[in-house]
Structure 1
Amino acid sequence: MSSSESESSQQGRHREAGHKSLLQSDALYQARFFDSPPIPSLCAYMLETSVYPREPECMKELREITAKHPWNIMTMSADEGQFLNMLLKLINAKNTMEIGVYTGYSLLATALALPDDGKILAMDINRENYELGLPVIEKAGVAHKIDFREGPALQPFLLEKKQGSFDFVFVDADKDNYLNYHKRLLELVKVGGVIAYDNTLWNGSVVAPPDAPLPKYVRYYRDFVLHLNRALAADPRIEICQLPVGDGVTLCRRIK
């Protein structure tokens, strides 16, 4: 089969499977334009064209600091940071929560989006990682918006928070607790507010066959992520939208 015939067959399979809902252009889906060779990566194109050129200098600095950390796989991608920042502006968020902070890249994206009197309740079990990024956050002039609490996210004081207190919640922590977070967060976020769950495509493992050679940590949390995705899709209290941004992020808008 020739190269052009192979590509034509591949396009047909994508159409039959409905995959073209993400990339409407055949040229984009093939990652090539007209008769030119395939471009190296659509992700690289997006990053170099619309993400990195518009990334605030403070976020770039924090991203580069985090890249040197041994756990850098835990950080949010730059394209997701851009998406989060715009989403918060679109919904006019003012009072937010973040569960799972790491070095604070997503936290900084949030703080930059909020008005000067906006507030973020930020929780993580590791203050040391947060303090790695804190000087950058302070230099950006947004540290006053952040109330950082070290310890498990479902802390006793959180149970005392008023129902409907938050406009937005971002969750990027222990995947085996996501459904426990969801149960409580639906009480804390206002009707019309949004909860965003990160890593809901979990390294692509959600579509991997049972015998796929996955890293141990990916395999361990895979079933928890699958269970979460099924539960969110069936929850009548929310509207959802799962997006292939970063490692997958699912937005849940509370309607009840």
Structure 2
Amino acid sequence: MTRTSESLTPELHDYLVAHGAPVDPVLADLAEETARLYPDLTTMQIGPEQGTFMTLLARIAGARDVVEVGTFTGYSAICMARGIPDDGTLLALDISEEWTSLARRYWERDGIAHKVDLRIGPALESLRALSPETRFDLAFIDADKEGYIGYWDELVPRMRPGGVLLVDNTLSHGRVIDPAEDSAAVQGIRDFNDHALADERTELVLLPVGDGLTMARKRD
């Protein structure tokens, strides 16, 4: 027995990935092309084990209507879209036509493009423009860290009872506990973590998946 999560060496991480979902050529090619085109931004893309987790979670939750804040080159969108039915919808919000042009190409290749409703522009404005009746089964937040609280506060009321919210990078490479770290992004994560923990509309857990993944459930 252990009361702490296992620290992953590179070798143990490789073993973990190898004993999860089989190698996926679409996602592998997308990750490779993203790394080649945007070598300084590869940390903006989730890892394969997190992607598989998100696909399974979408299926387990019976999600049909999904929203993603921060799409980048489309890796996480593919993972969630695979987990929803053929007539489900993934609302993908991003500010970059360039990044999402690569995403569109891979969505077509993967056969999930018809499920994706991509909207370019500031995500907070896009969320506020939604109909008051709009409800989601699953939400994923992975955008500018200073904006997390705003996205959360727009999304929680729009989740169906029992709906699930996933929020990425909530450990910020361990910098959340470093008193010498005072960047706006890290402070944004600290502020969000405290804000979400205090939100009585949800129940949550912060998982040591990737760079920290908060999973919350909208209370009934």
> Could you say whether these structures have the same fold, taking a TM-score greater than 0.5 normalized by the shorter chain as the test?
yes
Mapped partners of 2:120, 2:180: distance in 1? 38
Question: How many residue pairs align between the two structures?
Answer: 218
Unaligned regions of 5+ residues in structure 2, if any? none
* 1:157 to 1:22, Cα distance in 2 relative to 1, 3 A: closer
Partner residue, 1:20: 3
* 1:156 to 1:145, Cα distance in 2 relative to 1, 3 A: closer
Mapped partners of 2:75, 2:126: distance in 1? 26
Verify: 1:57 aligned to 2:21, yes or no.
no
What is the SS of the residue equivalent to 2:189? helix
> Structure 1 segments of 4 or more deviating over 3 A?
156-160
Query: What letter matches 1:102 in structure 2?
Result: F
More moved, 156-165 vs 42-51: 156-165
Question: What are the equivalent positions in structure 2 for 1:69-108 lying under 5 Å apart?
Answer: 69-70=38-39, 71-108=41-78
Question: Contact (CA 8 Å) 1:165, 1:190: kept in 2 or not?
Answer: yes
Using the TM superposition, give the Cα deviation of residue 157 of structure 1 relative to its aligned residue in structure 2, in angstroms. 6.6
Mapped partners of 1:192, 1:164: distance in 2? 15
* Structure with greater proportional helix content: 1
Mapped partners of 1:255, 1:157: distance in 2? 21
Query: What letter matches 1:21 in structure 2?
Result: T
Aligned counterpart for 2:80 among listed residues 83, 107, 110: 110
Using the TM superposition, give the Cα deviation of residue 162 of structure 1 relative to its aligned residue in structure 2, in angstroms. 3.3
* Larger RCO of the pair (alpha carbons < 8 Å, separation 6+): 2
More moved, 155-164 vs 128-137: 155-164
What is the root-mean-square deviation of aligned Cα atoms in Å? 2.1
Using the TM superposition, give the Cα deviation of residue 107 of structure 1 relative to its aligned residue in structure 2, in angstroms. 0.5
Query: What letter matches 2:217 in structure 1?
Result: R
Mapped partners of 2:83, 2:23: distance in 1? 13
What is the TM-score when the length of structure 2 is the normalising length?
0.91
Partner residue, 2:177: 207
Question: Contact (CA 8 Å) 2:55, 2:80: kept in 1 or not?
Answer: yes
* 1:40 to 1:150, Cα distance in 2 relative to 1, 3 A: closer
Bigger Cα Rg: 1
Query: What letter matches 1:206 in structure 2?
Result: V
Mapped partners of 1:40, 1:143: distance in 2? 33
Unaligned regions of 5+ residues in structure 1, if any? 1-14, 24-28, 32-38, 213-217
